[in-house]
Structure 1
Amino acid sequence: MLVSIVYMSRAVEPFDDAAMTELLRGSRFRNEALGVSGLLVAKDGRFMQLLEGPAISVDDRFTAIAQDPRHHEVTSLIREDIERRRFDGWSMAYRGLDDADLAAEDGFSPFLSGTSDFPRSFDRTSAAWLLKWFRDRELRDV
Structure 2
Amino acid sequence: MQPYHLIYQSQWMEPMGATALHELLLQSRAYNRQHGITGVLLHTPEGRFLQVLEGPRAAVRHLYYHAILSDPRHHHCQVLGEGSWPTRSFATWTMGLRYAQPSDLRTLLGEATNNSLGLTPRPYPRPQLLGLVLDFVALDHVPAWQEQP
Q: TM-score, normalised by structure 2?
A: 0.65
Q: Which residue of 1 aligns with 2:146?
A: none
User: What secondary structure sits across from 1:39 in the alignment?
Assistant: strand
Q: Deviations over 1:71-121 (max 9, x none)?
A: 10000001021111111212111359xxxxxxxxxxxxxxx9xxxxxxxxx
Alpha-carbon shift at residue 125 of structure 1 (Å) = 3.5
C-alpha distance in 1, partners of 2:135/2:73?
24
Answering whether residue 46 of structure 2 is matched by residue 41 of structure 1, we say: no
Answering whether residue 74 of structure 2 is matched by residue 77 of structure 1, we say: no
Q: TM-score, normalised by structure 1?
A: 0.68
Q: Which residue of 2 aligns with 1:91?
A: 96
Q: Which residue of 2 aligns with 1:62?
A: 64
User: Number of paired residues?
Assistant: 107
Spell out the pairing of 1:1-142 with structure 2 (5 A cutoff): 1=1, 2-43=3-44, 44-63=46-65, 64-87=67-90, 88-89=92-93, 90-94=95-99, 125-129=128-132
C-alpha distance in 2, partners of 1:76/1:31?
19
Question: CA RMSD, aligned part only?
Answer: 2.2
Q: Which runs of 5+ in 1 are unaligned?
A: 97-111, 113-123, 134-142
- Identity over the aligned pairs, expressed in percent? 35
Q: Deviations over 1:37-64 (max 9, x none)?
A: 0000110220000000000000011111
**Aligned residue type for 1:94:** Y
User: What secondary structure sits across from 2:16 in the alignment?
Assistant: coil
**Aligned residue type for 1:25:** L
